[in-house]
Amino acid sequence: MSTLHMVNKSPFERGAMQSCLEHALEGDGVLLFEDGVYGAVKGSAVTGLIENKAGSVKVYVLGPDLAARGIAGGRLIEGITVVDYPGFVDLVTAHKGTQSWL
């Protein structure tokens, strides 16, 4: 059973997403929410951080946070799964524990 990592910081302002990805183990899940959703957008200076872990960790992003920030689904890095709040709950119960990267 694996860990669900939760990242709510913009990767352009803070190092939470990078640090999370450097510590996540194979098979872990990473949920980007709040300002963390900016890390899910393709073609940015930090896109490589996510792409380098593709195939090792599964990345999710919270849909309501994307919508609030005007980020359309087509702008996401390939392979990222969009979830809603009930889906967020399912992710928490499906992993053995959660780690918040505050």
Partner 1 sequence: MKLSILVNEGPYTHQSADSAYQFTKAALEKGVEIFRVFFYHDGVNNGTRLTVPPQDDRNIQKNWSELAEQYKLDLVVCIAAAQRRGILDEGEAKRHGKGDGAANIAPGFRISGLGQLIEAGIEADRLVVFGD
Partner 2 sequence: MSQVKKFLYVNRKAPYGTIYALESLEVVLIGAAFDQDVSLAFIDDGVFQLAKGQDTKGLGVKNFSPTYRALGDYGVTKLYVEKEALAERGLSEDDLMPVTYEDENDGFAEKPSLIFVDRAEMARVMAEQDVILSF
- Output 45 or 96, the one with its CB closest to partner 1: 96
- The C-alpha atoms of residue 9 and residue 21 are separated, in whole angstroms, by 13
Is residue 91 a contact residue for partner 2 (CB under 8 A)?
Answer: no
39: tokens are 């890390």
Other Cβ atoms closer than 10 A to 46: 16
Among 12, 15, 68, 94, binds partner 2 (CB under 8 A): 15
Does position 97 interact with partner 2 (CB under 8 A)? The reply is yes
Among the listed residues 32, 89, 84, the one whose alpha carbon sits nearest the alpha carbon of residue 63: 84
What is the x/- site pattern for partner 1, positions 44-73, by CB under 8 A? --------------------x---------
